[in-house]
């Protein structure tokens, strides 16, 4: 795992003048374990009267940066596991390290996104298996009726098992068919729902079966479905890029794309998810900037607030913070020049 050598160097400086039980030693221990959240907690709990308080404050911004780098490394490794379909490793890595980073919201969002991808792949596998099972069961459709003519208890038990298997299979075929209809994968939706209808002709078919047949019979709707699928794919790629690199540019690129397609309801869930990410990042970095500002690190606070401006340019609170920090930096520059 990546370690920030500059932080360990700073930790060695601290250790040279720390005594047993002092908060500086807790910071060192936390950094050695790459527990950046714990290191920040220790610094925040250190009173100004402590002799190492100034030195700890100097490390604050560096620890935040190291935490960001560590989080990005974790996310890239988890995504690599996901691409290899090693889902247990991906989720285990994120769960084990989530509380070590200062702002875990990005890890939470990646965990949710990976869960969606895992569910999508699992549904694809299950769809193939359920289709094979449906084919086999349709080939032996008369078996249940034949077993009903037997008096032997084994035939009664076998018929009961067969009927229960059919009931469970029909329920899963309907569930998967409706899932693929929601994803606008109409061929899979139609085939799965058709199997369900064939296995249970007395049941009311899913409304999505007629919808799937209508879409597949309409050239215009097929083209629209293809276009929507392409839009969904592009939106997911843009959002995944932001999750990989965590840059504001990637977040803004995803927002611009979704804003261009505001009228398309197929992207409504993507818009909702991205808005949650944007609001969380905005709130987290507003608080981070405020913490830096309170410690007199005005330039760093201004930089963080400045990069947030394109996200919510009309936010009154952010604009006030930018104006306040600009005045402070201007005054400091004037004092230095004089």
Residue 295 is classified by DSSP as T
Among 292, 35, 105, which Cα is nearest to 305's? 292
155/158 Cα distance (integer angstroms):
5
Q: Is residue 111 over pLDDT 60? A: yes
Residues 6+ apart with CB under 8 A from 120: 183
Domain positions in the chain are 1-102, 115-217, 219-338
Residues 6+ apart with CB under 8 A from 61: 292, 297, 300
pLDDT digits (tens, 9 = 90+) for 167-224: 999 999 999 999 999 988 999 999 999 999 999 999 999 999 999 998 888 877 778 8
What number is the average pLDDT over the span 13-27?
61
Report the helix count and the strand count for the chain, using DSSP H and E. Answer: 15, 0
Residue 98 is classified by DSSP as G
DSSP assignments along 209-246, one per residue: HHHHHHHHT-HHHHHHHHHHHHHHHHHHHHHHHHHHH-
pLDDT interval class at 69 (50, 70, 90): very high
pLDDT interval class at 3 (50, 70, 90): very low
pLDDT interval class at 15 (50, 70, 90): very low
Q: Please, what is the end-to-end C-alpha distance for the chain in angstroms?
A: 47
DSSP assignments along 105-125, one per residue: HHHHHHHHHHHHHHHHHHHHH
Render the burial of 206-237: b for 16+ CB within 10 Å, e for the rest: bebbebbeebeeeeeeeeebeebeebbebbee
Tokens read off for 184: 């606008």
Tokens read off for 114: 């990976």
Q: What are phi and psi of 197, to 5 degrees?
A: -65, -40
Provide the sign of the torsion angle of the four alpha carbons 46, 49, 54, 55, taken in this order. negative
Identify whether the C-beta of residue 7 lies closer than 8 Å to the C-beta of residue 31. Answer: yes
Place of tokens 């020049």: 337
Tokens read off for 186: 């109409």
Chain centroid to Cα 211, Å, comes to: 31
219 CB-side CA count, 13 A? 0
300/330 Cα distance (integer angstroms):
14
pLDDT digits (tens, 9 = 90+) for 27-55: 999 999 999 999 999 999 999 888 889 99
pTM of the model: 0.62
User: Which pLDDT belongs to residue 21?
Assistant: 54
* Protein fold of 219-338: 1.25.40
């Amino acid at each position: 795992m990546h370690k920030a050598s500059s932080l360990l160097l700073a930790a060695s400086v601290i250790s040279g003048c720390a005594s047993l039980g002092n908060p500086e030693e807790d910071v060192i221990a936390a950094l050695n374990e790459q527990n950046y959240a714990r290191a920040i907690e220790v610094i925040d709990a250190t009173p100004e009267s402590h002799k190492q308080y100034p030195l700890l404050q100097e490390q604050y911004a560096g620890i935040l940066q190291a935490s960001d780098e560590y989080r990005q490394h974790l996310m890239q490794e988890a995504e690599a596991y996901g691409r290899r379909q090693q889902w247990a490793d991906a989720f285990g890595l994120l769960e084990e390290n989530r509380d070590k980073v200062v702002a875990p919201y990005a890890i939470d969002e990646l965990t949710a996104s990976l869960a969606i991808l895992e569910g999508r792949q699992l549904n694809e596998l299950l769809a193939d298996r359920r289709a094979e099972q449906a084919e086999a069961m349709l080939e032996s459709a008369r078996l249940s009726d034949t077993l009903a003519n037997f008096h032997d208890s084994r035939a009664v038990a076998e018929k009961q098992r067969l009927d229960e298997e059919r009931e469970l299979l029909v329920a899963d075929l309907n569930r998967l068919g409706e899932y693929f209809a929601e994803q606008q994968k109409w061929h899979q939706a139609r085939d799965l729902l058709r199997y369900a209808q064939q296995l249970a002709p007395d049941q009311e078919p899913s409304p999505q079966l007629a919808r799937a047949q209508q879409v597949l019979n309409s050239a215009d709707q097929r083209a629209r479905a293809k276009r929507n699928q392409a839009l969904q794919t592009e939106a997911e790629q843009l959002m995944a890029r932001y999750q990989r690199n965590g840059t504001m540019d990637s977040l803004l690129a995803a927002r611009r794309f979704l804003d261009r397609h505001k009228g398309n309801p197929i992207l409504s869930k993507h818009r909702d998810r991205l808005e949650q990410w944007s609001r969380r990042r905005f709130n987290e970095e507003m608080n981070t900037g405020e913490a830096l500002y309170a410690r007199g690190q005005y330039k760093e606070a201004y930089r963080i607030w400045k990069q947030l401006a394109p996200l919510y340019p009309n936010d009154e609170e952010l604009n006030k913070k930018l104006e306040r920090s600009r005045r402070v930096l201007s005054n400091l520059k004037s004092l230095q020049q004089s």
